[in-house]
Chains A and B, each alone.
Chain A
Amino acid sequence: MTNSLGRNVPEGKKPFVSSTDYKSHKRQQIGLKTQAEKPVFYESLETAFVDLSLHSGMTFSFHHHLRSGDKVLNQIAKLIEYSDLKNISLAPSSIFPQYDLSELIRSGRINNIYTSYLNGPVADAIQDGHLKGELIMQTHGGRARAIESGELAIDVAFLACPTVDLNGNGSGAIGKSACGTLGYAVSDLMYAKKVVLITDNIVDKLEKYQFDHRFVDMVVKVDSIGDPKGIVSGTTRITRDPIGLKIAHDTALMLEALGEIKPGMSIQTGAGGTSLAVADAIDKLMVKHQIKGSFASGGTTGFHVNMLKQGLFSKLYDVQCFDLEAADSYRVNAFHKGISASEYANPHDPKAIVNKLDIVILGATEIDLKFNVNVTTDSFGKIIGGSGGHADTANGARITIITAQLMRARIPIVKEKVHTVTTPGSDVDILVTERGIAVNPLRKDIITKLEAAKFKFVTIQSLLEIAEKICGKPKELPEGKRQIGVVEYRDGTVIDSLYGSR
């Protein structure tokens, strides 16, 4: 079976129809758990594990706010083995390279994985064919939707929480492992059958908290939930790479030509060096034209915090803090607001922030002539990431811009057909490269505005031709034979399949 993009869909799965199809479906929400008793506090993860009465075949979830410093998932993985649990489904919001799950996957203890981002040894083990069940790659908003609808039923959510008070309320803003907002875990908190907060800091009372004790069953005190060095980077920096700076500069000029640098504007950029350079270039234009925007959103950095402090935006809506400055700002600044993954990007949340975005700046490992974008696999088919909020923001924002170098390590990023579709081309409007800007022909309004402003742009076909002229035409990857999982669009339909490496 194939979907509307011509991509293979395993039997029994819902094929992707269009990026607006979800609007014809109603929001589904399972009932919220009512908690009569106060959470029980434990000093040992092992004891809590026993008291949870766990059994094989269950689904455990986690969040990734402690990023590469997270120690919780590995601790639970050890207990899965120690407790001789099998056929477990794991649903972490992201999987980073420090997770040591390969043996549990090989031995059939972990059989299914649901996540929004995946790289490192776990990705390798899955692509080598060791996962006995399926890999479901979701979007951040799609994960929240799946959890609240019961499509992804979580038996136990093991949620790292930098500080918990004696009532069982939790916060990521303070504590030795502070990481800022805990937005990706809120759906898990509200809809998992059991919720366990794992913390290394207990205080008497939190005045401000993101995790409400009414959803919490257990609190476990451990020595450490994470390595602060890996949780947040000290600072995030604007790229100094001249190509990245040129792409950023051209993006800002194009937005100016489109008349998008205007009062009330809202924007989301990533935390990478080039994304920050785009934010910096937009910052300068906003200062020059004395523009005050409405909000910036997404994962935030010190750079975004400075824009808030300068008064360039009224608010920051933050689902994840990427550095210390952002985490500090989230703690002290009332206009730096933490939001849940659902409030951020759930396709069925009527107030989702992504739907209020004017502009989103995103990256790509590949983009094809129909503007379909791949951020899940590299040009050799290896899993190196995933949508995260890519497909959510691309769909929600009024203008979606992809910034990318035309060639990376002598491989063109523009392809006739991307290896894996993460985000459909119907949601992608503009590609900015160092060798030209291409506009999706579907966006006639943008084309008309750029033409009126005498702003130069080219076709995506011409960018493909330049790239292939310089690099040569890469060999086509052989068609994948052994499906190892699927990429879901934000509505849960399958937009593409993932294939094994052998």
Chain B
Amino acid sequence: MLRSLLFVPGNNPAMIQNADVFGSDAVIFDLEDSVHVAEKDNARNLISEYLETYPVLPDVVIIRINSLDTPFWEADLDAVVSKSVDWIMLPKAGVEEIKKLTLKLESIEKIKQIEKTIKIMPIIELASSLVDLENIAKQERVKGVLFGAEDYRADMGIKRSDTGVELLYPRSRIAVVAKASMIEAIDTPFVDVMNDTALISDCHNASALGMTGKAAIHPRQVMTINDSFSPPKDQIEWASKVMKAKRQADEKNLGVFSLDGKMIDKPIIARAESILKIAKEYGIGGEADD
């Protein structure tokens, strides 16, 4: 699971060489918007060399390629796809674009003898993509989607608000469809990089609706995002207590039991198990409270 996904411009060597140190769950090496047309070749070469030769890489590597309506996307893939790449992020994605990308990836994987299946993360940034989300999420390689709010607003012809109310529907829809399809729902980056308070609020807005992670456009956002999309400490402690009480109840062959005056039943146990599982995966606890 990915809480934080840090964007790094593909033509910035200083940032690329330190991409793995900021604690993000994944790094998105960008070949699209942050790389000028004249720099595309340099960026491809740089990322390719980095992935082939650098001794310490991020745990999860994502490449954002240029969209399929540009002349760049195939050269992007030919240059950078390797066994070190985990995901391809696809801008302006619809079902047809995903199918076309899948064919190209299959071909490259075969040629380069890459044994794993590289996943696809479509960016949902058009109203049409949002409408077709169920079909997008069903595509075999699609294991997560990223919501692109800036382009979504532009497509809809609506303005950014302080409260983010205009994002309520797309976030809700993406979260629900992603959950039903068992894929990750990654929230749009927050662009005011110096405003930590507003970032926390934006993270809470997204996570409250069921988004599972968020993209970052500056390293300083990573820790806030990780904290916001991790189970809170009191929740982990509560879950540990529930599981401890369950073990004691099991020893006494009790099907239903109470904790702190509240009845504990199957859905609550499942929620506690889920919290501990996530906490353990993120290395922030998750051990049973013995």
Contacts and interface: CB of A to CB of B under 8 A. Distances in A.
Interface in B233-252: none
Interface stretch (A25-33, A240-248, A315-323): A240-248
A466 interface: yes
Contact of A245 (B15, B55, B219): B219
A370 interface: no
Contacts of A227: none
A434 interface: yes
A246 B56 contact: no
B218 interface: yes
Contact of B220 (A242, A434, A466): A242
A502 interface: no
B21 interface: yes
A40 interface: no
Nearest to B22: A246
B56 A242 contact: no
A405 to B, nearest CB: 9
Contacts of A245: 219-220
Contacts of B223: 249
Interface string A117-128: 000000000000
A470 B17 CA distance: 9
Nearest to B194: A240
B21 A246 contact: yes
B22 A242 contact: yes
A469 interface: yes
B18 interface: yes
A435 B21 contact: yes
Nearest to B23: A246
Given A242-B220, A246-B219, A249-B223, A434 B21 contact: yes
A242 B18 contact: yes
B56 A466 contact: yes
Contacts of A469: 55-56
> Size band of the B side of the interface?
10 to 19
B281 to A, nearest CB: 16
A502 to B, nearest CB: 34
Nearest to B54: A470
Nearest to A456: B283
Interface string A224-261: 00000000000000000011011001000000000000
Contacts of B23: 246
Nearest to A406: B21
Contacts of A435: 21, 56
Contacts of A466: 56
A470 B219 contact: no
Contact of A243 (B21, B54, B56): B21
Chain A CB count within 10 A is highest, among B18, B218, B220, for: B18
Q: Which of B15, B21, B223 has the most CB of A within 10 A?
A: B21
B286 to A, nearest CB: 12
Nearest to A242: B219
B220 A470 contact: no
Contacts of A434: 18, 21
Nearest to B18: A243
Contacts of A249: 223
A243 B218 CA distance: 11
Interface in B219-238: 219-220, 223
Contacts of A243: 18, 21
Nearest to A433: B21
Interface in B15-34: 15, 17-18, 21-23
Interface string B28-56: 00000000000000000000000000111
Interface string B190-210: 000000000000000000000
A469 B53 CA distance: 11
Interface in B98-134: none
A249 B22 CA distance: 11
Contacts of B21: 243, 246, 434-435
Given A246-B21, A246-B22, A434-B21, A470 B55 contact: yes
Given A435-B56, A469-B55, A469-B56, 16 more contacts: A242-B15, A242-B22, A242-B218, A242-B219, A242-B220, A243-B21, A245-B219, A246-B21, A246-B22, A249-B223, A434-B18, A434-B21, A466-B56, A470-B54, A470-B55, A470-B56
18 contacts: A242-B15, A242-B18, A242-B22, A242-B219, A242-B220, A243-B21, A246-B22, A246-B219, A249-B223, A434-B18, A434-B21, A435-B21, A435-B56, A466-B56, A469-B55, A469-B56, A470-B54, A470-B55
10 nearest A-B residue pairs (beta carbon): A242-B219, A469-B55, A434-B21, A245-B220, A435-B21, A243-B18, A470-B55, A246-B22, A246-B21, A242-B220
Interface of A: 242-243, 245-246, 249, 434-435, 466, 469-470
